[in-house]
């Protein structure tokens, strides 16, 4: 059991002297903005490449969504970051400290919320959190303050004396989040935290995660609920068969993968005539006349779209409205991945 106080100064060595990440790990520190870094990470199980040469960084105070089908390598990556497994090759860093060379320093700075967790049936919520506070070296007044804050933040203060066996799924997830927060980590790793929650519980969990990021914590979260990740995350990474296929903000990935977009143009008159003219252009496919509107697939970026509208107007057609269907994160996910498992 780790009895080292979790409130040790970030960036300090075991003897209390300040050290850089390069001194602690033999690597190169990438500055204060990169709180999580995976550097050419590999994890093999026999011939299975669960994680295959993955590299990305997450800036301090950002929420990173980790997306992929079951068996893609998300949980394996997260377990390595949480120092619960070792990479076959490569390394990962939390606040500049290596999960391979400095696991104890990483654990002080990291809170891990697994997709499933064990509880003790005859223990109440406060006793459960108090156990993990003590396990993380919190004592006296500081331990009591952290307990009160976590119970208040997770909305479990009203049931502090309630046995865990009587909690709903949503309340158990809140309790697990509280356990991960009890030592005030700078990095949170959340593996499928919204699984099995009702809509209200998911909304409340999303608000809590966003608030943690606003407080400066870095959050890496995996989920199959892509619409929620699109609203919550500053950036995402899409993984399949152990390989990272795309990474960046949702908007960046959408722009990179968006070769076709669906356009809708509403005209004042001469709808059929305009449809015939537009259909002659190579960039236009699948023309549909819907009352006063023309709907079609268009190949090109935003600049090409603007040129098309200008061309239509130049030919004397009176355009009332133009709209473009933007691909959702789900659309991008389906386009990037192939549904492969290993």
Separation CA 306–CA 337 (nearest Å):
30
Examine residue 12 and state whether it is found in any structural domain, yes or no.
no
Residue 49 confidence (pLDDT): 93
Residue 339 confidence (pLDDT): 62
Residue 179 confidence (pLDDT): 94
Residue 209 confidence (pLDDT): 92
Examine residue 305 and state whether it is found in any structural domain, yes or no.
yes
Residue 10 confidence (pLDDT): 32
End of a domain among 219, 254, 289?
254
CB 293 within 8 A of CB 264: yes
Q: Both 222 and 100 in a single domain? A: yes
Hey, which residues does 188 pair with through a beta bridge?
Answer: 111, 219
User: How large is the angle between the packed helices 271-279 and 302-314, nearest 10 degrees?
Assistant: 130
Examine residue 334 and state whether it is found in any structural domain, yes or no.
no
Q: Which positions of the chain have pLDDT values less than 70?
A: 1-32, 119, 254-260, 326-328, 330-331, 335, 338-342
Residue 5 confidence (pLDDT): 36
State pTM to two decimals: 0.72
Residue 194 confidence (pLDDT): 84
Q: What is the number of domains present in the chain?
A: 2
What tens digit of pLDDT does each residue of 160-180 get? 999 988 888 888 889 999 999
Residue 326 confidence (pLDDT): 66
CA–CA–CA angle 2, 116, 108 (5° rounding): 25
Residue 229 confidence (pLDDT): 80
Examine residue 15 and state whether it is found in any structural domain, yes or no.
no
Residue 198 confidence (pLDDT): 83
Residue 261 confidence (pLDDT): 76
Separation CA 159–CA 148 (nearest Å):
12
Separation CA 296–CA 285 (nearest Å):
6
Examine residue 189 and state whether it is found in any structural domain, yes or no.
yes
What tens digit of pLDDT does each residue of 184-199 get? 999 999 998 888 788 8
Residue 27 confidence (pLDDT): 37
> Which CATH number does the domain housing residue 30 bear?
3.40.50.300
Count of beta carbons in the 10 Å neighbourhood of residue 126: 19
Residue 18 confidence (pLDDT): 31
Evaluate the CA torsion angle 206, 255, 314, 274 in order and state its sign. negative
Domain that holds residue 44: 21-254
Residue 21 confidence (pLDDT): 34
What tens digit of pLDDT does each residue of 91-125 get? 999 999 999 999 999 999 999 998 877 767 789 99
Q: Both 29 and 171 in a single domain? A: yes
Residue 71 confidence (pLDDT): 86
Q: Both 292 and 152 in a single domain? A: no
Residue 8 confidence (pLDDT): 32
Examine residue 13 and state whether it is found in any structural domain, yes or no.
no
Q: Both 273 and 157 in a single domain? A: no
DSSP 5: -
Q: Both 221 and 263 in a single domain? A: no
CA–CA–CA angle 221, 227, 232 (5° rounding): 50
CB 80 within 8 A of CB 88: no
């Amino acid at each position: 059991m780790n009895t080292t106080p979790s409130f040790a100064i970030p960036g300090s060595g075991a003897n209390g002297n300040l050290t850089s990440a390069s001194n602690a790990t033999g690597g190169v520190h990438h500055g204060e903005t990169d709180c999580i870094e995976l550097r050419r990470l590999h994890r093999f199980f026999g011939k299975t490449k669960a994680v295959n040469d993955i590299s990305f960084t997450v800036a301090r105070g950002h929420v990173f969504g980790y997306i992929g089908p079951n068996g893609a390598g998300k949980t394996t990556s997260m377990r390595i970051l949480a120092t619960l497994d070792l990479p076959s090759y490569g390394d990962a860093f939390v606040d500049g400290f290596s999960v391979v060379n400095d696991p104890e320093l990483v654990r002080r700075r990291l809170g891990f919320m697994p997709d499933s967790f064990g509880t003790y049936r005859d223990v109440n919520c406060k006793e459960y959190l108090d156990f993990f506070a003590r396990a993380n070296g919190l004592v006296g007044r500081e331990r009591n303050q952290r307990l009160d804050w976590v119970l208040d933040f997770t909305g479990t203060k009203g049931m502090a004396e309630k046995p865990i066996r009587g909690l709903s799924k949503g309340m158990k997830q809140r309790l697990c989040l509280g356990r991960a927060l009890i030592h005030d980590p700078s990095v949170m790793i959340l593996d499928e935290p919204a699984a099995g929650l009702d809509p209200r519980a998911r909304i409340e969990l999303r608000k809590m995660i966003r608030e943690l990021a606003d407080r400066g914590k870095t959050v890496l979260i995996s989920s199959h609920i892509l619409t929620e990740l699109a609203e919550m995350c500053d950036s995402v990474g899409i993984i399949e068969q152990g390989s990272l296929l795309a990474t960046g903000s949702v908007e960046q990935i959408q722009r990179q993968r968006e070769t076709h977009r669906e356009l809708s143009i509403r005209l004042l008159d001469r709808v059929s005539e305009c449809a015939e003219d537009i259909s002659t252009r190579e960039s236009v496919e699948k023309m549909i006349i819907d009352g006063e509107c023309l709907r079609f697939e268009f190949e090109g970026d935003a600049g090409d779209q603007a040129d098309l509208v200008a061309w239509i107007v130049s030919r004397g057609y009176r355009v009332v409205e133009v709209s473009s269907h933007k691909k959702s994160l789900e659309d991008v996910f389906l386009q990037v991945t192939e549904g492969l498992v290993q």
